[in-house]
Structure 1
Amino acid sequence: MSWDMSALLQGSNNLDFQHQLCVTLLQEFERSGNLSLLNRAIPLLQSTVNATPHRPGADELPDRLNDLGIAFKLRYQRSGELHDLNASISACERALRLTPDLSEKRHYRLSNLAAVLCYRFSHTTNLRDLNESIETHQKGVQALPQGHAYLAQHLVSLGNAFRFRFQHTGDLSDIAEAISAHQRAVHLSSVGALNACKPGWFSLPQLLHTLGISFRTRFSRTGMVSDVEEAIAAGTRAVNLMPEYHTSFPGLLNSLGNSLQTRFQVTNSLSDLDQAISVHQRGLKLTPPGHADLHLFHTNLGNAFKNRFNLTGEISDINEAIARARSAVQLVPHSHCECPLWILGLANALQMRFVMTGDIRDIDEAILNGERALDLLPKGHSRLPEFHTHLGTYLDTRAGATGNSEDIPTARSHYRSAATCEVGPPTGRRQAAKIWARRLCLDEPDSPEILEAFDTAIRLGALLAGLDQSIEERYASVADASAFALEAAAAACRLGEPEKAVEWLDHGRCLVWNQLSALRTPLNDLQAYDSALAKKVIEMSRLLEGTGSSRERMHSGMSLSQKISVEDEARSHLRHAQEWEELLEEVRAIPGFENFLRQSPCSALLENLPSSGPVVVINLNEERCDALALLSGLDEPLHIPLPNFSLKTAKKNRSDLSDQLVSSGLRTRQVDAEPDWESVGRPAPTPYIHKRDAGRRVAQEILSGLWKEVVKPILDTLGFSRIDRSSGEIPPRIWWCPTGALSFLPIHAAGVYGVAESESILDYAVSSYIPTLTALTKGIKNPQPIDDKISGLFLTAQPNAPGATPIPGTTREVQAIHAKATDLGVRASKVEGNDITVDECIRYLERFSSVHLASHASQNAANPLQSKFLFHKGTLDLATIMRGNLKNADLAFLSACQTSTGNEKLSDEAVHLAAGVLAAGYRRVVATMWSIGDRHAQEVAVSFYNYLWDRRREGSGSGFDGALSAYALHHATQQLRSRLDSSEASLLAWIPFVHFGN
């Protein structure tokens, strides 16, 4: 089409005609991309606007201002000139001001203004523009009734703005809002969807496209596999619905390719990468020259080649990746806000090729590009830590290849900058802090900066498991956090800083239980100061406990409306987490409450130690093994190196013991056709020794090694002496807090057995375990007297839970304990089998200070709050127990199998029932390390309670106090031991009973 402007306008001063001509020019520009049409339309539109009078209520001037704003926006998209964008915003703002609140066009004006504000944010990264864009979009959505034809358009734009803000700030609530908006848009557009593929951005395929991008974006933060599967499903459907001739088709292919690449991060499957490359190549082939997103398509194809190179090592792949990265950089002006990203992508590819070929020119160019990208990145950008970390990696790579020592401190400075940056998600900053700490340990092992580096990493590690995530997501987030705490503690011990070692082990382990325990902290002081505020804290903590444990996960079999419901629940959880943080800030602003629910430093922990014996934390790391003993009255931990014990030894002991338990039927792996005793609990079959271990006494060897290399050196340093049992002397207490592989070994039974001069920890002290020091000191700091009205014991036996092996001994066990309690006048209640439901059980737990649960147990390592006890009528899980009002909880005897076994992958997160019951509020717990026999369980339980009741305080009436429970279990297991012989099977019968807590 040919445009002769003078001929069209000759002899006409009709403003309507001029405006319509401008609209036609804009439409033709959008069709052809001919920039000269746009350059003609803009001055004509300006002239039309200037000549149009303002008449209140009339549409002419706001319509023309709106179109002028659109014209400037279109030119900005081609030119990248900020003045065009500012002119667009100015015109759109004026158009909106002149549009009446009740006008049908107001939503359209709001949408246009919000869009150009979002563009300016992309150019300047000024967060105020993006915040204003979101607010303006929200007003546009609110201005439309449900089902309006343009509502989907507004929702998708609003979702995009939320996604941009998430990418800038890392706030998970923003990406949740983005997904919710995009899901609603797809839902609204689904009717008549197959006819919605005509030209225009907001057809169903485009809505699916944006939804997929948002799911993929959230995956980058959370790593939830369901998100990337949703992204691929949405992207695939979008591509299938969109005709290939559509101008947006290449963009849809590009997005699908990115989602396939993202799934590759999870699957490491070459087929995902090959498919991604094919999809990207197809999209690039269909993209016309001069397309605004051409640089993006080159980059993403290059990333796919880069990922395939990592998998296959084919040099042609990395060469192709570099070529694509160079094309992207050449296509983007330096003023473009995304230019630093493409430059960094080129640098990464060059570094990878250097590692392959050793061509020094590649790593030199990578460093230059890394520095250039960092210089161009706006200050305060959320990806700043990532850029620093990459540049540090390039410098480290060159130092390793050339021996250039000057690169090493520069690299460390970049890691430090990344770790201490105030922006960006904690995951990347923590990774940089770990590298920073480890580099210092290698390069300057005596540097005091090591403490700062580890301190930073531990602090950031605690942020990974945010309350805005479900319990399962939190455990996935902290999979390696606890192990790093052990590494940090080893460094602190080497540097002579035992206080730091204690602090890091307490703050860096059992992160999820620490959170849940904090939510249940008594608020006596706060209630006395401000009861209303304390009530808010309590109510919010209850909400977070519930939503964190019960969130439903999205899956492919769900309908869209069901998925929307799941996302709504997730957004509600996020809001609760944000309100919790706001409440904490409010409390901490009160004088005297500055450290409210903050993790305690070592000095504070030392102030609340038990007086009846030491607490011994044992840190086990590849580098060394150390015990840290804390005693009431000492102002610093006592450091006891254990040079004769190693991580290698602990792992071998754990493996050998596990094999012994399997062969004895006390713990079963899924092999051959043996029954799964681990899932059904007790009873275990008669123990026997595996042929492979015939003649070898595995348990005795392990216990002997623990005694000689770990426990006896600690006792000697602490000055413990052997107890003369005949004298009636009361043995001291000792609390063990083992770490790593030691968590699975029976320290409480360490000793030399089966010889004339046998000796063990049982001759020196009464042992208890704690998951963390805070778990113990918290109860000492905030002692809660037991209400006399609920002081007593509730017992339940569940011998015939559906689907589980019958355990008739539980009935005899509970009946014997209850009969003796009744004879002595102890307040006790017994309900068995079908006579009790789970809900009724919770009411009993609230009415009695102590509980004896004799049943099958099932542990869930992925989500410990779903670990449970099997009842005839349902299951009693930890999440349900925690929702009970257990403020007077005292003692829990878990007479079931493997209730303190834990999980090897999360050895320092104490993912077992015993730790969960402690976190629920019980002060002390009796549990089992492996499967127990019916008869032995009954004997230990009856002996345990007889000991307690024989030593009840005078005047206690019908009350029941579990304060002597550790001594009671010590006595009961000794009684069982005395009735057995010294065989391996007998050892395995009495050792599994353990005591946790105070």
Structure 2
Amino acid sequence: MVQPDLSHVSATAMAQQGLRLLEDFQGTQQLDQLSQAIERLRQAAFGLPAGSARQCLVLSELGRALRRRHELTGAEVDLEEAIPALTAACMTPEEGCRHLYLNNLANAYADRYERTTSLADLDRAEAALRRALELVPHDDPARSVIVSGLTSVLSYRYQRDGDVRVLDEAVAVCRDVVTADLAAPAQQALAMYHLAGALHEAYEARSDIELLHEAEDWARRATDGTSTDPDSAMYLAKLGSILTRRAEVERDPERLTEAEIVLAAAVLGTPPEHVRYAGYLNEMGNAVYARFKFTGELTQLDRALEIFQTVVAIGAEGGINEAGQLINLGNMLMQRFALSPELATLDNAISAFDRGVRMFGEDDPFLPMARSVYGGALLERSRHSDIAGQPERFLEFAIAELRRADRAQTGYAEHRRTIRNNLAIALHEQFKHSAHLPALEEAESLFRAILAVSCDDIAGRLATVNLAAVVTDRPGAGEDAWDEAGRLLRRAVEMTAPGHVDRVRVLRNLGVHLGEIARRRADAAAGAEATEIFEQILSMPTASSDSRVRAAVTIAELAAFTGDWTAATQAYGRAVDLLNATAVAALYRADRAHALSRFFGLASDAAACALNAGQPRRALELLEHGRGVLHGQSLAVQSTLAALHETAPDLADRFEQLTRELDAKPAGDDMNLPEEVVSALMEQRRRAAGERDRIVEQIRAIDGFVDFLRAPRADDLLGALRCHPVVVLNVSRHRCDALILRGGAVEVVKLPRLQSDTLIRQVIQFLGCLETVRDTNQPPAERDQAAAAITSILIWLWHSTIEPVLDALGFTGAPGRGQHWPRVWWCPTGLLTFLPLHAAGRHPHTFGSSGRAGGALGSFAPAAATIDRVVSSYTPTVRSLISAGARASSRPGARDGAPRVLAVAVPRAAGWPEIPRAADEVEVVRRRLGTVSVLSGAQATRANVLAQLPRHQWLHFAGHGVQDPFRPDTGELITVDSRDKGAVSIADVAGLRLPDAQLAFLGACDTVRGQVLLADEAMHIAGALQTVGFAHVLANMWVVSDRLSLEVTDTFYARIVEQGAGPGAAAHALHDGVRLLRGRLEQLPGTAHERRFGPILWATFVHLGP
């Protein structure tokens, strides 16, 4: 300290002023008054004789005042000054005061321990308090205060060491002084408060409900008559915490309501800068979260999450409490993720857990449980990664963290069982990934060990459910194992109260088990019970949309197993209707895609059941409703927006604004932003989604818009279809069919030679062979072998799928001379979207030279290939084709003036191979079309491309495209600044509105290649461009040679100009260009590289649109 000038006043007078100000502060609680008292006492301490009784008194009061200001402001400097002052005070020559000074010193050490978790501070606090107890007479009222401090310190000691005997001592000494009733009311209330806390902790350690009841009783008595006490908020917070816990244990909503009221009073009665404010708010968050667990209301979870985010942001308590608050926040984020699967939320939970774990001391008893929930979050992350190798790495990290938690020597017994449960879950997951039997055996051993201790707590319930899954996963598990699993799951249901947030999961596990029993044993009763359980889940407010979809699907599968195709169709219909709820607009587009990927093939199975039930129109509806969900959400907007602008322009504008906001790309790189920023963005999206839902309801109330954004009926689809025939190819494990749409009818063509399991093998081989052929580092023999395998797959595709359809359509050969080439619009489902239907068949080694036929090219004999019989176009869904046709017919054609054309050439981009002919391709466009706006080289930036697209009607892009078939929403067009600014992504395109767009030609690789588990969602750049306005899109299914792309481009635009039909001739023009290319390649010598790889080189080009 710096010695102040005391010349103007005596030290004794200064001390008197300070003590008087301190006494006044006790009544006013004015911080300024406290600060003045501290200054006076500080000055007096310097002026009084060193070591005198008077100085020691002043130093003790100064230390108390500094500690109190630390409580109110959180200023650590006050606590650091208080401890030396209080230490000096304990040297007082007056024996009768020393126990009081020791108590004050101990409290200061305990305060610092809360911030630092320094064992030395805890030891000093306990030593000072025990010495004070030795000095204080048994009938001295001050004994109550000292015991209160010791109780608190012993609680910290238990939390570190896990020795329940320490808690027993705390309860015993505190109960003694409380029952003696020697202290003043304020001191007695403080002792009751500490006794209540010790009993609460004893309950958590021993699970003896009587301890919790007694804790509540003492907490209530502590709050009686203390409304004017400065510590009244502290007493209320303790009572609220105990009430919350008892309400959870005894399922008592009325007690929880009281807890919320009491905790609200504690929070409102405490200034935000108070050191305990965050702690009280934390308890309030626990109560709100408990309310969510009672009701399953998402608003309660969001409220709890907001509270915990505020607690962490305040950071007022620091130390051990800050670490715990981070763990609480992580738990809330995990719960939010479970109900709304935003990966950013999961990643933020992992970040919060990681920070919290790092803040705990290695010997802290809460650290094992913190590691456990951290490991659980890493385990969950392993289930939500599409990047090769990432799931295994996350799983490895999870198991390592959980093993650290299990090896810890500290912690609560209840936590120990939960930790081992989580470790066992992770080991079971490892077995499912690797078939590593020791992992499964260890998991079973852990679960059984948990149940051997207790079955009736949370850990027991979780272990019961999880053990059921393990015993049936054992290799060669017999009927005894399945019977044991059934008993375990029924027990778990009994242990989970109705309305509990875990009730859905426990019921679902039992329902799945019963469904499997029904199939294994042809047990109709088990099937009926399973159906009843899933019907119950569908009606439960706590069930997530994901759980509801799964419930409806399982009901459908059970009905299909019994051959009740009508019931199966009805249940599948409910599942399809629920899919849109799974892909809620509040999620980012990539998260919506991930949510939908879990239901790959649902719509196709639904349609197959409808066909078995003799309902082909219903099959079409189910395919349209359940496929292209994301695509359809945008198309439905586009199709009616113009009319809406005329009828209700304000609603239309706001709807568009909100839709753009919800379709926008996440801010930052993969949402690598601070948690509070991400949380704010998520909350903003939830508000926007809620407002958008309300606007949709307002729009539906307008005459003529009652079906706005609703899925269309089959009659509406067939009536609006101007392009036909459309062939919807459906692949399901139940059956495979082609639905031919023409003349307002649905004609079913069975495809018995097309099997879903065969298709999976063929697509896997096809994609692998493509990679081999495109890899010039592979040996020539292997590339030739891969090319031959692709040829065989195309022949299989012809015989199993395409030829029966074309025969049914009457397209049994090539068009004769002078005849118009017929068109077919292919709408493949599932994995068929990865195969070139237009290239299916046998391709001759020599190209015919008989000249043009019907304005196209000569034919082959026999015409055993799609390209030799029809002009092929593709559409992701029937809705997409209808929408594109409507746009094409409403926009200017070729005779309405030259189109505004944007040509983009990106021959070089950092990190990508050079494309030598990209600029030549753009020059061809300019030469064929005339006036063209060009972005080339350094001008072809992401910002320029996105800015220029809305100003043009046609787009030609010559550059690199990229699409990862195993990750949703990753399609991109590479611009010159992609490395620094990012490429033009699907999300970028989805945010555009292009009312004048007509035609896009993408001379780039992989631009119509989707994602494997989202094959029905048109998750590629071509699909995105069509959705936002381009009626016609020409794209590539895989890698394209820049030289061949230049060749096809030249032919395409030459035909467009020759025929003068504008974009409407796009399909025929591309067909001509591809057939010419194929013919030239087939005329090359048999040893030529391009001859050997023929279909791989020309079949990449496709047309989407009317």
TM-score, normalised by the number of residues in structure 1:
0.77
Quick check: 1:624 aligned with 2:624? no
Report what 2:616 is aligned to. 498
Report what 2:960 is aligned to. 856
Shift of residue 642, structure 1, vs aligned partner: 1.0
Quick check: 1:736 aligned with 2:826? yes
**3-state SS of paired residue (1:872):** coil
82-91 or 369-378, larger mean C-alpha shift: 82-91
Report what 2:511 is aligned to. 392
User: Separation in 2 of the partners of 1:722 and 1:692?
Assistant: 30
Report what 1:290 is aligned to. none
Deviation per residue, 1:748-799 (Å, 9 max, x gap): 2334431742344345432110112222223456778337799532223233
Shift of residue 79, structure 1, vs aligned partner: 6.5
Quick check: 1:801 aligned with 2:909? yes
348 and 869 in structure 1: CA distance in 2 versus 1, 3 angstrom threshold: closer
Contact 1:295/1:329 (<8 A) preserved: no
Deviation per residue, 1:899-927 (Å, 9 max, x gap): 22334454333332211211232211011
758 and 253 in structure 1: CA distance in 2 versus 1, 3 angstrom threshold: closer
Report what 2:1052 is aligned to. 944
Shift of residue 846, structure 1, vs aligned partner: 1.4
Residues 830-849 of structure 1 mapped to structure 2, 5 A cutoff:
830-849=934-953
Quick check: 1:767 aligned with 2:872? yes
**3-state SS of paired residue (2:1025):** helix
Counterpart pick for 2:591 among 454, 457, 473: 473
Report what 1:205 is aligned to. 323
Shift of residue 170, structure 1, vs aligned partner: 6.6
Report what 2:347 is aligned to. 226
Quick check: 1:537 aligned with 2:641? no
Report what 1:992 is aligned to. 1100
Quick check: 1:726 aligned with 2:817? yes
Contact 2:836/2:1099 (<8 A) preserved: yes
Report what 1:682 is aligned to. none
Shift of residue 42, structure 1, vs aligned partner: 9.6
129 and 406 in structure 1: CA distance in 2 versus 1, 3 angstrom threshold: same
User: Separation in 2 of the partners of 1:35 and 1:648?
Assistant: 67
Query: Root-mean-square deviation (CA), in Å?
Result: 4.9
276 and 261 in structure 1: CA distance in 2 versus 1, 3 angstrom threshold: farther
Matched AA of 2:1022: A
Contact 2:193/2:219 (<8 A) preserved: no
Report what 2:98 is aligned to. none
Quick check: 1:715 aligned with 2:806? yes
Shift of residue 608, structure 1, vs aligned partner: 1.9
Report what 1:964 is aligned to. 1065
Contact 2:537/2:548 (<8 A) preserved: yes
Shift of residue 892, structure 1, vs aligned partner: 0.8
Counterpart pick for 1:440 among 544, 559, 566: 559
Shift of residue 639, structure 1, vs aligned partner: 1.1
Contact 2:330/2:350 (<8 A) preserved: no
Matched AA of 1:453: A
Contact 1:925/1:995 (<8 A) preserved: yes
User: Separation in 1 of the partners of 2:699 and 2:243?
Assistant: 37
Quick check: 1:322 aligned with 2:322? no
Matched AA of 1:230: S
Aligned residues: 912
113 and 851 in structure 1: CA distance in 2 versus 1, 3 angstrom threshold: farther
Quick check: 1:693 aligned with 2:785? yes
Residues 386-535 of structure 1 mapped to structure 2, 5 A cutoff:
386-395=505-514, 406-419=525-538, 421-442=540-561, 444-518=562-636, 522-535=640-653
Residues 910-929 of structure 1 mapped to structure 2, 5 A cutoff:
910-929=1018-1037
Shift of residue 17, structure 1, vs aligned partner: 10
Contact 1:367/1:394 (<8 A) preserved: yes
770-779 or 230-239, larger mean C-alpha shift: 230-239
888 and 416 in structure 1: CA distance in 2 versus 1, 3 angstrom threshold: same
751 and 551 in structure 1: CA distance in 2 versus 1, 3 angstrom threshold: same
Residues 112-511 of structure 1 mapped to structure 2, 5 A cutoff:
115=241, 118-119=244-245, 122-123=248-249, 148-161=274-287, 163-164=289-290, 182=308, 185-186=311-312, 188-189=314-315, 196-197=319-320, 202=321, 204-217=322-335, 220=338, 222=341, 224=343, 226=347, 229-230=350-351, 233-239=354-360, 241=361, 244=363, 248=366, 251-252=369-370, 255=373, 266-267=391-392, 279=404, 281=406, 286=410, 294-305=413-424, 308=427, 312=437, 318-330=444-456, 332=457, 342-343=460-461, 345-346=463-464, 348-349=466-467, 352-353=470-471, 367-368=486-487, 370-375=489-494, 377-395=496-514, 406-419=525-538, 421-442=540-561, 444-511=562-629
Deviation per residue, 1:224-280 (Å, 9 max, x gap): 5735743652353144x26x3x66566556656656766787548997677566555
List runs of 5+ in structure 2 lacking aligned partners: 1-129, 131-136, 156-165, 384-390, 845-859, 1084-1090
**3-state SS of paired residue (2:1005):** coil
Residues 650-669 of structure 1 mapped to structure 2, 5 A cutoff:
650-651=759-760, 653-654=762-763, 657-658=766-767, 661-662=770-771, 664=773, 667-668=774-775
Shift of residue 609, structure 1, vs aligned partner: 1.1
Report what 1:602 is aligned to. 714
User: Separation in 1 of the partners of 2:622 and 2:214?
Assistant: 54
Residues 20-169 of structure 1 mapped to structure 2, 5 A cutoff:
32=167, 80=209, 115=241, 118-119=244-245, 122-123=248-249, 148-161=274-287, 163-164=289-290
Shift of residue 299, structure 1, vs aligned partner: 4.2
Shift of residue 80, structure 1, vs aligned partner: 4.9
Matched AA of 1:607: G
Shift of residue 129, structure 1, vs aligned partner: 8.3
63-72 or 377-386, larger mean C-alpha shift: 63-72
User: Separation in 2 of the partners of 1:351 and 1:697?
Assistant: 45
Structure (1/2) with the larger helix percentage = 2
Contact 1:110/1:140 (<8 A) preserved: yes
User: Separation in 2 of the partners of 1:831 and 1:782?
Assistant: 26
Deviation per residue, 1:862-903 (Å, 9 max, x gap): 666553323335443333333333122221111222322334
User: Separation in 2 of the partners of 1:475 and 1:418?
Assistant: 24
User: Separation in 1 of the partners of 2:920 and 2:372?
Assistant: 67
User: Separation in 2 of the partners of 1:87 and 1:511?
Assistant: 56
TM-score, normalised by the number of residues in structure 2:
0.70
Matched AA of 1:869: L
Matched AA of 2:797: L
62 and 605 in structure 1: CA distance in 2 versus 1, 3 angstrom threshold: farther
Matched AA of 2:691: E
Counterpart pick for 2:724 among 613, 616, 635: 613
Report what 2:974 is aligned to. 870
**Larger relative contact order (C-alpha < 8 A, sep ≥ 6)?**
1
Report what 1:678 is aligned to. none
**3-state SS of paired residue (1:964):** helix
Q: Which has the larger radius of gyration?
A: 2
Deviation per residue, 1:142-181 (Å, 9 max, x gap): 8877655234324534554565566567777876776665
765 and 805 in structure 1: CA distance in 2 versus 1, 3 angstrom threshold: same
Shift of residue 981, structure 1, vs aligned partner: 2.9
Matched AA of 1:713: P
396 and 184 in structure 1: CA distance in 2 versus 1, 3 angstrom threshold: same
Deviation per residue, 1:334-355 (Å, 9 max, x gap): xxxx5xx744632542664477
Deviation per residue, 1:794-843 (Å, 9 max, x gap): 22323333443333433233223323333xxxx64334333454333333
**3-state SS of paired residue (2:1033):** strand
**3-state SS of paired residue (2:1064):** coil
Contact 2:966/2:1012 (<8 A) preserved: no
Contact 1:76/1:84 (<8 A) preserved: no
Contact 2:324/2:356 (<8 A) preserved: no
